[in-house]
Amino acid sequence: MKIALVQMEVLEKNKAGNVQKAFDLLRQAAPNCDVAVMPEIWTTGYSLGHLSKEADYLNGTVVNELRQIAAADRCAIVAGSIPLRKGDGNVYNTAITIDKNGEIVFCYSKVHLFSMFNEQRFFSPGNDFNVYGLEETTCASAICYDLRFPELFRHFAMQGAKIIFVPAEWPKIRGGIWDLFIRARALENHTFIVGVNCAGKFHDQKFYGHSAVISPFGEVLAAGGEEEEIVYCDIDLSQIEKANEYMNVLKDVRPELMK
């Protein structure tokens, strides 16, 4: 499976510009990969006070255009995350996965909201953290701060996830932690982690970039720098079986002790 990591620089207070840029990058990546992955909150950036008025809908123009791009180029899209207003009227930080036919496969809304930045004031937390099928592979999605909760990733692994996509807006000041977490989550669960971060600067915050694909052995298979770019990586899913043959960690888990 060939994956494109669309490491995008998000423009401040320019949703239209961000959306157009994202579509252009996706159209560039889609003919060259099986799955294209976007970063977190790429439509608006981390302008939390503006999220309510700039939230999108599942049947809105942004999502519909993403579906058309996926279908036109026969490329699945893990559409990072966007502020999504659901039927209950609340806004969620939601990662939408679209298959190569343009059909919505799964929507994951961020479970762990970042209290340090008062995300609870602007988003409602998600409660659905199931795995889903994409390209005949069991996958899962998490978002940014979720990386600090290893039990979520263990849950996905125990449900059979082979690839976990993690869109993020991770700052440079904590860049070393990003590198550590994405490798640890892959290694401890024998899954591939596809972490796609933002690039550039937003307000006074410099993003780390360094989007990466991590193998089930914790190895960095491909990684970006700090600027906007598209990183491509071919992954061999048989590496999961090889990792489990070497040391089948999940077989030794005792979930009855964790209740």
Give me the active site residues, please: 40, 110, 144
The H or E element that residue 155 is part of is helix 150-158
What whole-number distance in Å separates Cα of residue 178 and Cα of residue 73?
31
What whole-number distance in Å separates Cα of residue 132 and Cα of residue 239?
20
Q: Print the SS3 string covering 169-194.
A: CCEHHHHHHHHHHHHHHHHHHCCEEE
Beginning with the edge strand found earlier in the chain, give each strand of the sheet holding 163-168 in spatial order. 132-134, 137-141, 163-168, 192-197, 212-214, 220-223
Count Cβ atoms below 10 Å from residue 76 Cβ, excluding itself.
26
Phi-psi region of 22 (alpha: psi -120 to 50; beta: other; left: phi over 0): alpha
Q: Of the candidates 120, 90, 96, 125, which has an alpha carbon nearest to the alpha carbon of residue 108?
A: 96
Beta bridge partners of 115: none
**242, two tokens:** 């090889």
Residue the block writes with tokens 């009227």? 89
What is the Cβ-side half-sphere exposure of residue 6, based on CA atoms within 13 angstroms?
Answer: 27
In 2-132, which ranges are continuous DSSP H helix?
A: 15-29, 51-54, 61-73
